Amino acid sequence: MDAKTERKEREPAPTEETRAQPRSDRQQRPPGDQNRVENEHADDKRAQDSQANDSRSYANRPGLIRRHPYIAAIAAILILLVIAAVIIWWINARQYEWTDDAFIDARTVTIGAEISGRITDVAVTDNQPVEAGAVLLRIDDSDYQASLKQAEAGVVAARADIANVQAQTVAQKAKIDAAGKQVAQAQAALEFAKSEDQRNRELLAKGTATQQQAQQAASTLRQDQAALDTANANAEAAKSQLAVLQAQGKSAEGKLQQAEAAEGQAKTTLTRTTITAPVAGHATNVTAAKGTYAQPGQVLMMFVPKDVWVKANFKETQLDLVRPSQPVDIAIDAYPEKTFQGHVDSVQAGSGTAFSLLPAENATGNFVKVVQRVPVKIVFDQPPGVYVGPGMSVVPTVKVR
């Protein structure tokens, strides 16, 4: 647009009264003004013609799609691909549930001393892999060896007491048999003395026997009666002594059991001087040192078993279709290029807050509903084959459809 056109736009357009003025009035203007007005009218006409030509050229100009057909086709294809990808993603996402609130879990074992004593050997170091039954550390066992020997001696003594009582019982039974025979002998002698006394009395009455013979027979009868009473008393005493020996035998058996219990306890205590790995795993956080004095209950190290699993805290709104045995893809943050296979083992019967140290008390105060998380146990189908430990971050994806 030229300077004249701009000047024309800034100047006000002639009014109807001006246009309606007779030619004679316009001719009365000075020649310079008249020429200027005519030039302005010519400029206005040229500007209007230029605007009309521009409008006709814009109307006849082809559209964007016609000007760039290939670009428009590519854009349409890309839009269709994006829509198809979104639909496919939505259909596929409905088949899975995942969470990033998941960690490796295991039942870690606290290795502690069960007895007191000085540590003589620490066989492992931090993070060392060990097999089940491997020695972890040893405690001085000299005092416990002595206690075991003393208990074994007590067992030997108790068994000797039992053997002595048994021998005495056998001897006492023999005495009882002898006493019984003495009773039988005294009974026979008494029967003979009674017969002799009876005959001597009859003969004395007939006058064929003397008074001395009759008295002698009566005295023999009394002696034999006393001998029989003595034999009976000895037999009863022998029998009562057998009962005493039987009681002593039971007491000796009780002492033997007590001695054997002490021996067993001494053996158990001695075995506790050597601490071994309960299962295969890794020793970690070792605080025991050779020469230190261990107290019962003192924690000496931690032990992490090889048997680990995933504890995934899903939102309660995600558990509608989660069931045991469903396959799971496990991504461990420490190994981003690997995916491990597993399956759902179980779903905890209750949310995590229900088993916390301070469970929520929704019956008190103002209640604000919060979506709870429920732990789901996921186990590996095969051992991971890489080092994983409790607390490592995991992202499990469960196929629920």
Averaged pLDDT for residues 367-379: 90
Contact of 26 with 34, CB cutoff 8 Å: yes
| Position 38 confidence tier, pLDDT thresholds 50, 70, 90 | low
Backbone phi, psi, residue 220, to 5°: -60, -40
pLDDT above 90: percentage of residues in the chain: 33
- Encoded amino acid at 48, one letter: Q
b/e string for 177-189 if b means 16 or more Cβ within 10 A?
eebbebbeebeeb
Closest CA to 217 of 192, 239, 238, 237: 192
**pLDDT over 60 at 4, yes or no:** no
Distances (CA, A) of 308 to 130, 286, 352: 16, 20, 20
63-73 per-position pLDDT tens digit: 566 667 778 78
Closest CA to 371 of 399, 344, 352: 352
Q: What is the pLDDT of residue 36?
A: 64
Q: What is the pLDDT of residue 385?
A: 85
CATH level 3 topology of 99-107+304-399: Elongation Factor Tu (Ef-tu); domain 3 (2.40.30)
User: Spelled out in words, what is the top-level CATH class assigned to the domain 109-138+274-302?
Assistant: mainly beta
Helix, strand counts (H, E) of the chain? 8, 15
| Position 33 confidence tier, pLDDT thresholds 50, 70, 90 | low
Q: What is the pLDDT of residue 341?
A: 94
**pLDDT over 70 at 390, yes or no:** yes
**pLDDT over 70 at 171, yes or no:** yes
Domain boundaries, the chain: 3-59, 64-93, 99-107+304-399, 109-138+274-302, 142-268
Identify the residue with better confidence: 59 or 373.
373
Q: What is the pLDDT of residue 347?
A: 93
Averaged pLDDT for residues 119-140: 92
**Which pairs count as long-range contacts for 226-229, CB under 8 Å and 24+ apart, including other chains?**
227/186, 227/189, 227/190, 228/183, 228/186, 228/187, 228/189, 228/190
Identify the residue with better confidence: 232 or 326.
326
Q: Poorest-confidence range of 130-139, 193-202, 311-320, 378-387? A: 193-202
Identify the residue with better confidence: 221 or 124.
124
The contacts of residue 370 (CB under 8 Å, 6+ apart) are none
Q: How far apart are CA 292 and CA 274, in angstroms?
A: 15
The DSSP bridge pattern shows strands 340-347 and 309-315 to be: unpaired
Taking the CB of residue 156, how many other CB atoms lie within 10 A of it?
A: 13
Q: With respect to CATH, is domain 142-268 assigned 1.10.287.620? A: yes
**pLDDT over 50 at 273, yes or no:** yes
> Which residues does residue 294 pair with via DSSP β-bridges, in sequence order?
117
244-259 per-position pLDDT tens digit: 888 888 888 898 899 9
**pLDDT over 50 at 2, yes or no:** no
Contact of 119 with 301, CB cutoff 8 Å: no
pTM score: 0.60
The DSSP bridge pattern shows strands 128-130 and 109-112 to be: unpaired
**pLDDT over 70 at 16, yes or no:** no
Cα 130 from chain centroid (whole Å): 20
292-339 per-position pLDDT tens digit: 999 998 899 998 998 999 999 999 999 988 999 999 999 999 999 999
Q: How far apart are CA 231 and CA 221, in angstroms?
A: 15
Backbone phi, psi, residue 381, to 5°: -70, -35
**pLDDT over 80 at 198, yes or no:** no
Backbone phi, psi, residue 323, to 5°: -135, 155
- The widest CA-to-CA distance across the chain, in whole angstroms, is 224
**Which helix (H) or strand (E) covers residue 212, if one does?**
helix 211-271
Q: How far apart are CA 40 and CA 47, in angstroms?
A: 10
User: CA geometry: angle at 164 spanning 162 and 165, to 5°?
Assistant: 65
Q: What is the pLDDT of residue 69?
A: 76
Q: How far apart are CA 276 and CA 131, in angstroms?
A: 9
Report the chain's mean pLDDT, rounded to a whole number. 80
**pLDDT over 90 at 369, yes or no:** no
